[in-house]
Amino acid sequence: MGTEYVVDADPGGVAREQGERVLPATDSLAGVAAGEGDRVLPATDRLTRLAACDGGSAALVNRLLRIGLASLPAAYAGGEFAFRVDGTLGQAGALRLTPSGTSARYAAIAALGVLRLPTALQPDVLAGESCRQLVGRLVSQIDLLSSLGDVALTCWAAAEAAHPALPRALARLAALDWPGRPTLVVDAAWTLSALVAARPYADVEEHLIRASRRLLGSRGPATFPHVVPSQREASWRAHVGSFADQVYPVQALARLHRSRSDPVALAVADEVAAAVCAAQGQAGQWWWHYDARTGKVIEGYPVYSVHQHAMAPMALYDLADAGGRLHIDAISRGIGWLANPPETSETLLFDDPPITWRKVARRDRRKLVRGLRAASTRFRPGTRLALLDRVFPPGMVDHECRPYELGWLLYAWLS
């Protein structure tokens, strides 16, 4: 996966071959995203609702989808998705995109997104394969996975693909998910989402009930922590939950209620979503770390692009589809941050070559701010240590993109 893909930075944006590989950034997928010819992505209710609120944000989502569709193939080769694609400036100012590593987790999330594309377009992303072929290969390797989250995502993709190998995926999920096991909240949420997706195809009720009780029981007084039970986390940060620890449970609980009425699950999802939306930054930032006891922000940075364009909209739309509140203004503000992040003058979105940079972070490579704020708020909730903002200002752009970010983008907006 170390092959470099080079795209000239001229207005024509013609891909230049290096060895035997060329960045597949144009041709059919670019035409699809632009709505050219007959290969047009279907209109979605989610984009329609956003356009009614904010036409500019809807146009930006369309642009993001164009970028995502053109860049996702660059992260796929040899039947596997890369772990990351890095961007560096080469000779004559050309931006060089280099994929590296592989990730079963990111492949499963990418598969969930690609499954949202019309079947005829999936081979354009997957080097001629269908997404069902990709899902089948992921399930065939599932016994090699030891992470509950990785297995849950693979199971979820198999369920959404209605793949005949779903029983094998469910068996592996059950084998890893024993009662009482300390579990990351994100993994617990993905497990519940996978079981909800599998509900029409298999008898998963006993496991689903256990998974839903665990997730509901993990919530703090306001929001979710990072680990369940939270006592398994280091005491100085047992109260801390990330943005991911909020949105994936909101999504899972909303989907649980929609699949079969569960008012308690819907109420918890609504309350946590409201707390996170209330804490949203003035420029639309979805902040990073929250106090599970109060719902207040402990540390805001990094701000991740995927949170802005995919994960927040995905969870909040799923909540609304289940009968919860639609936070359309918050969704719009979050997307708007991508166009004009106040923390940096750098552009985060590139059409040619197609890439979306991963995050804007503090200049704090040792992550001291996160640690100090977590420790200080353990015994004095709301402590800010304002000096840290001056010593470690935000503004550093991470010049990489990961396939899961594009998978969730498709999944959020093409649902």
Residues 247-266 pLDDT 10s: 999 999 999 999 999 999 99
What was the pLDDT predicted at 383? 84
What was the pLDDT predicted at 23? 31
Among the ranges given (11-20, 65-74, 224-233, 395-404), the one the predictor scored with the smallest mean pLDDT: 11-20
Is 382 among the domain residues?
yes
Instruction: Report how far Cα 347 is from the mean position of its chain's Cα atoms.
Output: 21
What was the pLDDT predicted at 231? 62
Which helix (H) or strand (E) is 408 found in, with range? helix 403-413
Is 213 among the domain residues?
yes
Model confidence pLDDT, tens digit, residues 83-124 = 999 998 777 778 889 999 999 999 999 999 999 999 999 999
Is 378 among the domain residues?
yes
- pLDDT range class, residue 14, cuts 50, 70, 90: very low
Query: How many domains does one find in the chain?
Result: 1
Is 7 among the domain residues?
no
For 160, counting Cβ atoms within 10 Å of its Cβ (0-12 exposed, 13-18 middle, 19+ buried), the class is buried
Is 403 among the domain residues?
no
Task: Output the pTM of the full model.
Answer: 0.89
Mean pLDDT of 128-135: 96
* Mean of pLDDT over the chain: 88
Q: Three-state DSSP class for 223?
A: coil
Is 258 among the domain residues?
yes
Contact status, residue 301 vs residue 288, Cβ threshold 8 Å = yes
Is 59 among the domain residues?
no
Looking at residue 99, its amino acid is: P
Is 269 among the domain residues?
yes
Domain hosting residue 268, numbered range: 205-343+359-398
